[in-house]
Structure 1
């Protein structure tokens, strides 16, 4: 029984946090941000058209699933007006936002995701690999919590499990996520990718666990709590190294777009793709202008630590703040029961 937080996978937790838009508590940015994944319009083939198209998506409307509908439209905005950056960090994060947000719909093989490793203007961090590794690393947390509750005699009918602390499991989870981020993108700062949000949810905002990163180092010291014994089979041996205030192998770089500039549409100026049970015809904008435009071989973009451009629910069109939510807003999102009390 996992009463405190019922998890359908680590991505569901972060999806719920990033999707909820309330005003009680600000959460850290991550690649799982939903309403406003960052996008640098100025580098697009048709920058003003891209910005207008992106910001015109209304997530606060009467439709059944405005979030997924808005993300679908933004994908089409990018394919038309920012085709020259389909391998970039911005576009790849948009793909992650859709495929991990709309969990009630089939995960799609959307155009240009994931990108080939040597593509022009490709993101230096393969976000598809991040998602896959993150999901595997997250699988140990519910097993750990279940074992701790079993050891303490908490049954399916025992409501005390709702507030039962599992600080050792939470420390292990932070550790394995840090390890997963390092193994996938060793040169990028793991904090804004996902680790800051994990620390915030599982360590800092878990008052019943009386936890902190400083405490994690001693909690996972030899003989105190074994991540491997409690279900963290992946990265279990080195979780102690990562569950510290300054993890070993911590990187400081921001992910960036590398390998030059994409000057011609990958699939031609006009092409079709099938998604959401519909076939779409895409006509790339400003192809000739991009072909003659000069740009540096390496451009930095895709930072998720700075301001976010777009239109949040009830928010400004630029410089939107990090997503916020109330504790109650987490209940029932994506099949998740998760209360921060």
Structure 2
């Protein structure tokens, strides 16, 4: 059997619109705007080439690299706002919309107790929901030891626990937040995709306990909810909490390897005040490792790389569709079970 994992989540924390990164209140607002302008120009060039090649894969690659370059700009020039709802929601949108996107991503999710944090840790909710889906797949794959009828019943138990774990995470992590803002509609889509409404799950969850029998990890709040015992919904909207980030949590300069494009990015924080670390140039430069090529500060390395402008990591220049496919993977992920 092949389970197709489609992007069932809308951007958590955003009801309908695409998340826009803003410059207001950033440690280096003008530098961020310059960086984002450079990303926009390079992405436009990339998309024009994709149109000329009539390549959907190239278009997807341009979009993925636009996300990466944009949040690298933000990590450099707006590190004081990375705990807020805006940046956290933007990263979730990237993880949803880019087929090969994976963590780690700078400053995601927000650590517990961080200043100026979003009122609901939407990154934690997102990771809990996607973890539930992954565990559901593992659980289904493991149900092959009994007779056919028992296996079918236990598989239904796995899918009920998958839905319950996703739903319970929303209520357990952010009990006072309106659940429609942080993934409830998407969990309902999961119910539809699995043909497993939560209303039908109480007997399966009772017969096959999610944690002790089917191997699901504990959920936030400790309860795997079904329709009968579901907690009351919160009503609060998303907002940013008190406090101020006075120094970049990862230091004035740090590197990370992005698993989506296998490049090593060097992030230099701009606008760091005296006593908070080095001032930093604010560059979001990319270097690469391995056989694909090498780059230096301000250059997106690799055979498909392009130069950057204004400190922005360059969206990769796309070549033939086969090269883009090798770099970014397939548009639909098939998980065999």
Where on the TM-score scale, by shorter chain, does this alignment land: which range? 0.5 to 0.7
Q: CA deviation at 1:257?
A: 0.8
1:1-341 mapped onto 2 (5 Å cutoff): 3-5=1-3, 13=5, 16-17=6-7, 29-31=10-12, 38-39=19-20, 41=22, 43-45=24-26, 46=29, 49=33, 57-58=43-44, 60=47, 62=50, 63=58, 65-80=61-76, 82-98=78-94, 107-108=103-104, 110=106, 112-134=107-129, 136-146=131-141, 151=146, 153=148, 167-201=156-190, 203-206=191-194, 209=195, 211-217=196-202, 219-220=203-204, 222-223=206-207, 226-228=209-211, 231-235=214-218, 238-239=223-224, 242-244=225-227, 247-262=230-245, 266=248, 271-275=252-256, 276-284=263-271, 332-333=330-331, 335-337=333-335
How far apart, in 2, do the equivalents of 1:73 and 1:5 lie? 32
Which residue number corresponds to residue 55 of structure 2? none
Q: CA deviation at 1:179?
A: 1.9
Structure ranking higher on relative contact order (CA contacts 8 Å, 6+ apart): 1
Post-superposition CA distance 1:141-188 (Å, at most 9, x none): 12442355665649xxxxxx9xx9955433321111122233333332
Q: CA deviation at 1:4?
A: 4.0
Gaps of 5+ in 1: 7-12, 18-26, 155-160, 286-330
3-state SS, counterpart of residue 279 of structure 1: strand
Question: Alpha carbons of 1:274 and 1:229: their partners in 2 closer, same or farther (altered >3 Å)?
Answer: closer
- Note if contact 1:125-1:185 (Cα within 8 Å) is conserved in structure 2: yes
How far apart, in 1, do the equivalents of 2:223 and 2:113 lie? 31
Question: Alpha carbons of 1:31 and 1:55: their partners in 2 closer, same or farther (altered >3 Å)?
Answer: farther
Question: With structure 1 as the length reference, what TM-score do the two structures score?
Answer: 0.55
- Note if contact 1:172-1:243 (Cα within 8 Å) is conserved in structure 2: no
Which residue number corresponds to residue 298 of structure 1? none
How far apart, in 1, do the equivalents of 2:158 and 2:116 lie? 39
Question: Alpha carbons of 1:267 and 1:74: their partners in 2 closer, same or farther (altered >3 Å)?
Answer: same
How far apart, in 2, do the equivalents of 1:122 and 1:75 lie? 17
How far apart, in 2, do the equivalents of 1:132 and 1:221 lie? 22
Which residue number corresponds to residue 289 of structure 2? none
Post-superposition CA distance 1:23-52 (Å, at most 9, x none): xxxx5523399xx85236274433893875
Question: With structure 2 as the length reference, what TM-score do the two structures score?
Answer: 0.56
Question: Alpha carbons of 1:142 and 1:337: their partners in 2 closer, same or farther (altered >3 Å)?
Answer: closer
- Note if contact 2:115-2:243 (Cα within 8 Å) is conserved in structure 1: yes
How far apart, in 1, do the equivalents of 2:113 and 2:212 lie? 40
Gaps of 5+ in 2: 51-57, 257-262, 273-328
